[in-house]
């Protein structure tokens, strides 16, 4: 059970969530005028299609902000970046006034920054936490970023292009592109969701590294088995569980050798067992993670 010392304050946990909600609630102020100009030359059916698709997309993300969970992270981070792309696409026809276009791009960019912030990740991941655990999302491994970004661009371009063709009553092409986007979304959704389910978890019993992307099973380190938790020193030989993440890294040092199992690969379908005395992890908020570990009476520093 959490005590006042180790539980995050109510204000600290609510503030990022409400910032996220307010930022997304304000998006229509920028996008309604922009889309009004962009769709002014469309037939009436096209205007209705554009409006329905835009409001349905916006509503799905808004609902995600009010139901904090790891699914909400995936939904928001997949859909919110469409905002600046939609604004840029709307400006291609030349019917959108420069000020409205700049406002749409700026509002969309702010939404993306807020959705991808470490604070947002923490509050949404904590929404689906169990009991007294505190979840600290791990930063994405650099080698995964480029292929995931490319996959998202394919998904986003087919979605936006499909909507544009439908709004212009190009039914076959628009429908085909949206079907392609739906199939790609179903295939890629679970893979993107893996990035939302990577955490360093602080629990009363110790630390847990939950990383389905890199580990075949959770790595649990009990408080009595932990010798130190600190920022990783230069030249450490600890086992790297960051996946090649850039930035500040935390080192967990054990009193005795333990075994962890890395995720399966093509040449090792059952995974790889490693015997370790220390490991490296990279939470998006390392200072918060160390403070939480210290509050659980773990040897920090």
- Which pLDDT belongs to residue 37? 93
What DSSP string runs through 43-104?
-HHHHHHHHHHHHHHHHHHHHHHHS-SHHHHHHHHHHTTHHHHHHHHHHTTS-S-HHHHHHH
The mean per-residue pLDDT over the stretch 232-240 comes to 92
- What is the sign, positive or negative, of the torsion defined by CA atoms of 122, 126, 131, 135? negative
**Distance separating alpha carbons of residues 289 and 17, to the nearest angstrom:** 19
What is the reported pLDDT for 1? 35
Strand partners, 281: 250
Q: Label residue 194 by pLDDT band (50, 70, 90).
A: very high
Ramachandran angles phi, psi of 238, nearest 5°: -65, 150
pLDDT digits (tens, 9 = 90+) for 117-161: 999 999 999 998 888 899 999 999 988 888 999 999 999 999 999
Contact 158, 301 (CB under 8 A): no
User: Length of the chain, please?
Assistant: 301
Condensed to tens digits (0 to 9), the pLDDT of residues 46-105 reads 999 999 999 999 999 999 999 999 999 999 999 999 999 999 999 887 778 889 999 999
Is the Cβ–Cβ distance between 61 and 25 less than 8 Å?
A: no
Indicate whether 6 pLDDT > 50: no
The strand order across the sheet containing 272-281 reads 226-231, 250-262, 272-281, 239-240
pTM of the model: 0.89
Mean pLDDT of the chain: 91
Cα 198 to Cα 73: distance, rounded to the nearest angstrom: 12
% of the chain exceeding 70 in pLDDT: 96
| Residue 2, pLDDT score | 40
């Amino acid at each position: 059970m959490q005590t006042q010392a180790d539980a995050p304050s109510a204000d600290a946990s609510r503030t990022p969530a409400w910032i996220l909600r307010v930022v997304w609630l304000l998006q229509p102020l920028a996008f309604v005028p922009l889309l009004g100009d962009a769709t002014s030359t469309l037939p009436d059916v096209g205007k209705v299609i554009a409006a329905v698709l835009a409001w349905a997309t916006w509503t799905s993300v808004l609902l995600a902000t009010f139901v904090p969970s790891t699914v909400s992270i995936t939904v928001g981070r997949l859909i919110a970046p469409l905002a600046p792309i939609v604004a840029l696409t709307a400006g291609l026809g030349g019917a959108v006034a420069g000020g409205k276009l700049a406002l749409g791009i700026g509002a969309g960019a702010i939404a993306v920054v807020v959705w991808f912030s470490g604070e947002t990740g923490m509050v949404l991941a904590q929404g689906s936490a169990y009991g007294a655990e505190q979840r600290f999302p791990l930063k994405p491994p650099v080698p995964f970023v480029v292929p995931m970004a490319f996959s998202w661009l394919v998904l986003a371009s087919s979605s936006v292009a499909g909507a544009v063709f439908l709004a212009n009553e190009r039914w076959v092409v628009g429908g085909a592109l949206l079907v392609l986007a739906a199939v790609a979304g179903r295939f890629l959704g679970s893979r993107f969701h893996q990035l939302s389910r990577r955490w360093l978890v602080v629990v009363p019993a110790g630390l847990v590294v939950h990383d389905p992307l890199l580990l075949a099973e959770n790595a649990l380190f009990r408080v009595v088995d932990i010798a130190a938790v600190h920022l990783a020193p230069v030249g450490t030989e600890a086992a790297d569980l960051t996946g090649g993440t850039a930035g500040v890294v935390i080192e967990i040092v054990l009193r005795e050798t333990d075994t962890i199992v890395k995720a399966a690969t093509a040449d090792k379908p059952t995974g790889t067992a490693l015997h370790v005395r220390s490991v490296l992890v990279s939470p998006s908020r390392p200072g918060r993670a160390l403070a939480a570990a210290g509050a659980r009476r773990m040897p920090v520093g």
